[in-house]
Chains A and B, each alone.
Chain A
Amino acid sequence: MKFVAEYRNPEQVEALVNEIKKTITKDWRIMEVCGGQTHGLVKNGILEMLPDSLQMVHGPGCPVCVTPLHLIDKAIYLALEKDVILCSFGDMLRVPGSEKSLLQAKAEGADIRILYSPLDAVKIAQENPDREIVFFAVGFETTSPANALSVVQAKKLGLDNYSILVSHVLVPPAIDAVMNDPETKVNGFLAAGHVMTIMGYQQYQLLVEKYKIPIVITGFEPVDLLQGILLTVKQLESGNFKLQNQYSRIAHASGNEAAKELIRDVFKVDKQIWRGIGEIPESGLHLNDEFMAFDANLKFDIQLAIVEESQDCIAGQVLKGIEKPSSCPMFGNKCTPENPLGAPMVSSEGACAAYYHYSNLNDF
Chain B
Amino acid sequence: MSDKIKMQLQCPMPDLDYDIITLGHGSGGKLTNRLLEKTVFEVFNNDEINTRHDGALLKMNGNIVFSTDSFVVSPIFFPGGDIGELAVNGTVNDVAMCGGIPKYLSLSFIIEEGMKMKDFWNVLIGVKYACDKAGVQIVTGDTKVVERGKGDKIFINTTGIGELHPNADIRLERVKKGDKIIVSGNIATHGISILSVRRGLEFESDIESDTCNLNHTVITLLNEFGQDIHLMRDPTRGGVASTLNELSRDSQMGFDLKECAMPIDGQVASACEMLGLDPLYVANEGVFIAIVKASRADQILNKLRTLEFGNNSAIIGEVVDDHPGKVIIESKIGGKRVVHMAVGEQLPRIC
Residues of A within 8 A of B (CB): 1, 4, 8-10, 13-14, 36, 42-46, 48-49, 63-64, 87, 89-94, 103, 113-116, 120, 138-140, 142-143, 194, 222, 337-338, 347-349, 356-361, 364
Q: Does B58 contact A (CB under 8 A)?
A: no
Q: A142–B349 Cα gap in the complex (Å)? A: 13
| B200 pairs with A45, CB closer than 8 A | no
Q: Does B34 contact A (CB under 8 A)?
A: no
Interface range on chain B (Cβ under 8 Å from partner): 20 to 34
Given contacts A91-B276, A115-B200, 17 further A-B contacts (CB under 8 A): A1-B266, A8-B332, A9-B333, A44-B331, A44-B333, A45-B334, A49-B334, A63-B351, A87-B200, A89-B349, A91-B348, A113-B200, A114-B347, A138-B350, A348-B349, A356-B340, A358-B338
Q: A9–B273 Cα gap in the complex (Å)? A: 17
Interface of B is mostly: loop
Q: Which residues of the other chain, B, contact A358 by a CB distance below 8 angstroms? A: 337-338
B94 to chain A, nearest CB (A): 27
Q: Which residues of the other chain, B, contact A48 by a CB distance below 8 angstroms? A: 335-336
Q: A103–B307 Cα gap in the complex (Å)? A: 43
Q: A357–B351 Cα gap in the complex (Å)? A: 19
A139 to chain B, nearest CB (A): 5
Interface of A is mostly: mixed
Q: A168–B336 Cα gap in the complex (Å)? A: 35
Q: A90–B331 Cα gap in the complex (Å)? A: 26
Which residue of A45, A46, A63, A94 is within 8 Å of B347 (Cβ)?
Answer: A94
Please judge, given known A-B contacts A115-B201, A116-B200, A359-B337, whether A349 and B331 are in contact too, CB under 8 Å: no
Q: Does B343 contact A (CB under 8 A)?
A: yes
| A114 pairs with B348, CB closer than 8 A | yes
| B331 pairs with A43, CB closer than 8 A | yes
| A139 pairs with B351, CB closer than 8 A | yes
Which residue of B270, B275, B336 is within 8 Å of A361 (Cβ)?
Answer: B336
| B323 pairs with A13, CB closer than 8 A | no
Closest 9 CB pairs of A and B: A45-B335, A90-B347, A90-B348, A142-B351, A13-B333, A115-B200, A337-B343, A358-B337, A348-B349
Scoring B269, B275, B328, B351 by chain A CB atoms within 10 A of each residue's CB, the highest score goes to B351
| B351 pairs with A348, CB closer than 8 A | no
A125 to chain B, nearest CB (A): 13
Which residue of A116, A139, A359 is within 8 Å of B348 (Cβ)?
Answer: A116
Q: Which residues of the other chain, A, contact B328 by a CB distance below 8 angstroms? A: 361
6 contacts between A and B (CB under 8 A): A1-B270, A64-B350, A91-B350, A115-B200, A138-B350, A364-B326
Please judge, given known A-B contacts A337-B343, A361-B326, whether A348 and B200 are in contact too, CB under 8 Å: no
Q: Which residue of B lies closest to A42 (CB)?
A: B337
Please judge, given known A-B contacts A1-B270, A4-B273, A90-B349, whether A10 and B334 are in contact too, CB under 8 Å: yes
| B340 pairs with A357, CB closer than 8 A | yes
Q: Which residues of the other chain, B, contact A44 by a CB distance below 8 angstroms? A: 331-333, 335
Q: Which residues of the other chain, B, contact A14 by a CB distance below 8 angstroms? A: 334
Q: A63–B331 Cα gap in the complex (Å)? A: 26
Q: Which residue of B lies closest to A142 (CB)?
A: B351
| A194 pairs with B351, CB closer than 8 A | yes
A262 to chain B, nearest CB (A): 16
Q: Which residue of A lies closest to B335 (CB)?
A: A45
Which residue of A87, A92, A222 is within 8 Å of B333 (Cβ)?
Answer: A222
Q: Which residue of B lies closest to A358 (CB)?
A: B337
Q: A276–B314 Cα gap in the complex (Å)? A: 46
Q: A10–B200 Cα gap in the complex (Å)? A: 37
| B338 pairs with A360, CB closer than 8 A | yes
| A43 pairs with B337, CB closer than 8 A | yes
| B337 pairs with A360, CB closer than 8 A | yes
Q: Which residues of the other chain, A, contact B276 by a CB distance below 8 angstroms? A: 91, 348
Q: Does B28 contact A (CB under 8 A)?
A: no
Q: Which residues of the other chain, A, contact B350 by a CB distance below 8 angstroms? A: 63-64, 89, 91-92, 138-139, 143, 349
Q: A222–B203 Cα gap in the complex (Å)? A: 27
Which residue of A36, A46, A338 is within 8 Å of B335 (Cβ)?
Answer: A46
Please judge, given known A-B contacts A113-B200, A114-B201, whether A8 and B333 are in contact too, CB under 8 Å: yes
